[in-house]
Structures are given as C-alpha cells and as structure tokens.
Structure 1
C-alpha cells in the first residue's frame, strides 16, 4: 500500500509573507524555500593572501643575497628552482632535508625550468672585491652579461602560456661611476669606468626580454649583513681592535641591509607597479668614516686604524676602486613606490646585525 504525502507548503516567495497560513507552517515553508535556493556568492571582500604562490627560478641563489632570498621565499610557501653552475655547491647550501621542495638545476637544463616559472630572479655574478687580473675582469663581465643573455633567451623562447610574467634582474650602483660631490638617482646618467661599462651591458641584455614580461632592474648598493659582503670582512678587524676606514674615509658608502634588499625583491616580484630601474640602496647614504665609527661604537671598539690607500692598491690593483671610490646614491623610485625600509639608518642596521 503506497502512501502519498501532501506537501504542507504551496509555492512560497518572500512577497507572499505567508498570508492565510498558520505561523508554524509559514516558518517551515520559509526554511524550505531558503534551502531550495542556489547558493549566492558572498559579497564580502576576502582579504587576499600576502603573496599568491609563485614558481620562481633564481640564478645566483647560492650567493650572499640569493641564500637569504630563497629562505624568505620558502618560508612564504613559494616553489623555488635554483639555477646553478655547480650542483654540488647548491646541494650543500640547500640540503634536501632542510629544503625538500627546491628543485636544483644545472645550466644545460635552465631553459626547461625557466619556462613554466611565474617569475625569474637573476642574481648571478662573480664577486668584484678582489684583485682584477685580465682573467678576473673577463669573468666579472661574463658571469653577469652572458648569464643574463641566457636567461633572457630562455624567457623569450617560451610560449606565451609558459613565459614568466616577471623578470627581476640585478645590476649595481656601479652603473653611475664614482663621485665625491655628485648625487645619483635612477634618472642619472652612466659613468665611464670599467664597472659602469659592465653595468650598461648587463642592463642592455636584460632589456632584451620580451615586452610581455614586466622587467625590474635593481641597481644594488653595498649589502650589509654579518655572513657576507663588506661587513663580514670588517667585523673581525674591529674585534681585534684593528678597525678603521679604508683610504681617506671620505668616500660615500651607499648601503642597504640584506633584509631590506630581499624585501625589495619580494615587492618587485609581487607588485605590478615595480618596473624599470630601481636603486637597491637605503635612503641615507653615509661616508665610510661614519660607517666605521658606527660599527666601532656598536661593537665597543675604536675606529682608529685606517687602511692607507697605497696598501689597498697594492693588494687589489685596479679593483681597489671598489673600496676607495664611492658614490652617493638615493633610492628615489623605491620611496615613490612607498617601500618601507626596516633599516633606513646605518646605525640601526649595524645594531641589528651585530646583535643577531
């Protein structure tokens, strides 16, 4: 025997207001009506994630800047492809147990992994703070210019679906040349010395990237942290009470804390307003003597033993210009874009570095 159930509700709409129905029946029908309606999209604006997950290919990842950048990107759950010329070095710096998601790729395979990446960061370059033999000068240029060319060729060869949308390529404030009295920002012209020449070629190759790719050229200053760069050489001398400025100490020192530089790179990756040339320096350059005074003060050591110019030239030859000559560079574009420096003053940066 079949039993039919007569629905207690006639077609219900909010406009009917349930007229001619008992209150209980009206409420039941209203619930039934609501459950039958298709789900409506929420009109509440969701706060976006700080940075959408990206797949980022990085040259120079094993270097002083690259190591810190990889750490930050991994902490933010991005997928990292380390493009290296030394698999053994990269595996030593990024052991699989500590960096399980990282893919390490040697140079012949770079193209395959660049294509399909969301972004590429190019930090490759042989250190310049050494004696410049003809061979070293060739390597200084090729490690920047040639690598950049290879990266750009790989990006441009990709189909539009697989092409990275952002290319952040390092260059250097050496682009501007050196000066005691002149100040420089992103609109300043290039100098006429060897490093200026290298930087011009470096940037020119990066600018060959396809127009569909957002290009950011970071002209990086002197990067400060304790495990690399200039400070790593200076701190031991100050510990031994043998610290002091190099040469006259009057040369300008356009610096940036490594954490701020990494934050600037992260902004360049995620913020479409970042494009073209951006100086990677802090907003308050100082003369080298002041920098050494601040370092000595924080460490409780005097800055009293200058390194004479002739000694620096004897050790570094033509490469002495890196430390004996300076430039006063301001990050005009970064400030216009509203970038917030954690360490705008060198005393704050040094204090944080020494106490870490």
Structure 2
C-alpha cells in the first residue's frame, strides 16, 4: 500500500514506521532531511501539504499529528499550538481527500480518551456520550468532527488513545526518574482512573485496523483493565523495587500546572469494546506484566 503518515517522527509514529516497511510510505514532517537520516532513504518526505492537490494515489492515511498536550502549563500560546497542530492538519488533509477522484480507502485518525471528560470509576466505552465540558474534550471533539469529513470516501477509524506506556517517551518516561529514586507516589487522592496501553499493543491495534479491515468507527486504544492512579503507582514502585508512597498533593500540581493539572487529577475508566469485538488480542491486558516488559526493555533496548 501507499500510505501517507503525519506525526511519523513522534513517540508513536517513530515506533510504527519500522512495522510498515513493506509499504510505500510518505511522511509529512517539518524537517525532511533529519527525518530521512533517521528513517532511511526508502521513504518519501513532504515538508508541507501545500505540495499536494489531492490524495489520489494513496491507499491509506494515518494521521497522528499533534502537539503534546501534557507536561506544561496550558498558556494561551500552548492551547493554540495544541489545537492548530491537530485541527489544521486534519482539516487540510480532509480537504485534499475530498478534492480528488480516487481518495484513500483507509483513514486512521488519532484522537484521545480526553473526549470522555473527567469521569469517576464507572467504565465508559465507544458508545458513551461525550459532552465537551473541558478543554481536552473540546480539542478531541473538533478533531474528530474534522476527520469525519472524509467518511463519504474512506473507511474511517477514530482511535481514542489512552495513556501510552513506554520508557522512551510519554508519561512513563516522565515518571521513571522519581520512582527510581523512591520519590514516586499517588497524584492527588489517587482514586482517579488511568486508562493505559502498552505501546506495542497500540501499534498492534493500528496494524490490525489497516490490515484486517474491521468495521469503521470509534476504537478505544486502551487496555481492557483500567486501574486507579494509586494502584498504578503501587505497581510501578513494585516493578522497580522501590517504595511509592510519597503523594503529589493536588494543590501543588494546580499551582505548578494550572488548568493542565486536571489531566493528572481526573481520569476515566475506558474500555476497548470495539477493538475486542473486532478480534484484536492484547499482548499486555494487565498492568504488571506490561510494566515488567517495558522496564526490561528499558534495561535492554529493543524494537517493538
């Protein structure tokens, strides 16, 4: 297949590319020369979508582009970058798709479980209504609406991604230094639910959707077993053979991170019912084996 990929140099995309080497890949990136050095001369590289008049000739689009949403205070400038990086790219891609006469058959568009908004421990799935009550939910809602513009032409998969675990990046990468020193612990009251997924399972789900053509629609990219933040902290400390009892008080996080702290202090128990119904099998449905695999991978680097 000929596949156009956005976000291919990021935390998820960079691990996905080696798994797609049998296909003809075109990567949208702001630094084509650096990307070519990193990923090889066998791929095509685009600096801008302005060089395309349509998406005819591509069999699939994988749209993973997006400014990281966590890790820094949500200033107005940061919020604009979060929105623009998702909305503008998706809007331009959809317009290109609708301008052609032979559009891609498959369209996989990233989204996030933030669309469900702050929840208690009651499980939610792909059928749960999503009132866009906070910033993260509003970002995802418009992101998905823009992607849905390609539905008349493409088999659209909206991938609502949870907390992706891997020591190379994401939340786990930020947690490890403190936990390795025995300084980790629950965030706030620790009762907020964490819907996580091993990066290998996320990559596997993407390949499953592309290769097996299950029904189009929303797919939660989360483990079948969400866990509370307190339980997650305990499991991570146990995997590292370190205590994990030092809490991060909510007032400290709110003072340091402002509105962004709500991502850490609230959560959702998200279930991947669509993925399971499609026949996808998780390699790491439980947290403790997932952490054991990830931490051994950190000690002995390997390719997912």
SS at match of 2:130: coil
1:92 Cα offset (Å) = 5.2
Say which SS state the counterpart of residue 201 (structure 2) adopts.
helix
Equivalent-residue separation in structure 2 for 1:274 and 1:71 (angstroms): 26
Q: Show the counterpart of 2:140.
A: 199
Task: Give the Cα separation in 2 of the matches to 1:282 and 1:64.
Answer: 18
Mapped partners of 1:262, 1:281: distance in 2: 12
2-structure distance, mates of 1:311, 1:173: 25
Q: CA deviation at 1:100?
A: 2.8
Structure 1 residue runs of 5 or longer lacking an equivalent are 1-53
Please tell me whether the aligned partners of residues 191 and 229 of structure 2 are also in contact (alpha carbons under 8 angstroms): yes
Shift of 1:111: 2.6
1:17 maps to none
Q: Which residue of 2 aligns with 1:64?
A: 11
Which residue of structure 2 aligns with residue 329 of structure 1?
A: 270
Partner of 1:251: 192
**Change in CA separation of 1:79 and 1:176 when aligned onto 2, cut-off 3 Å:** same
Q: Work out which of the residue numbers 22, 25, 29 in structure 2 matches 1:80.
A: 25
Q: Structure 2: where are the runs of 5+ without partners?
A: 298-304
**Residue equivalent to 2:90:** 148
2:74 equivalent among 125, 132, 137: 132
Deviation for aligned residue 1:115? 3.0
- Quote the offset at 1:131 in angstroms: 0.5
Greater RCO, CA 8 A, separation 6+? 2
Deviations 1:293-316 (A, max 9, x none): 111111111112111111111221
Partners of 2:121 and 2:193 within 8 A in 1: no
Alignment TM-score, normalising by the size of structure 2: 0.93
Other-structure match for 1:190: 130
Alpha-carbon distance between aligned partners in 1 of 2:11 and 2:197, rounded to the nearest angstrom? 13
* Alpha-carbon distance in 2 for matches of 1:108, 1:177: 32
Partner-residue secondary structure (3-state), 1:223: strand
In the TM superposition, what is the alpha-carbon distance from 1:112 to its structure 2 partner?
A: 5.5
1:226-245 aligned at under 5 Å gives the runs: 226-245=167-186
State which structure, 1 or 2, has the greater radius of gyration over its C-alpha atoms: 1
Aligned length: 295
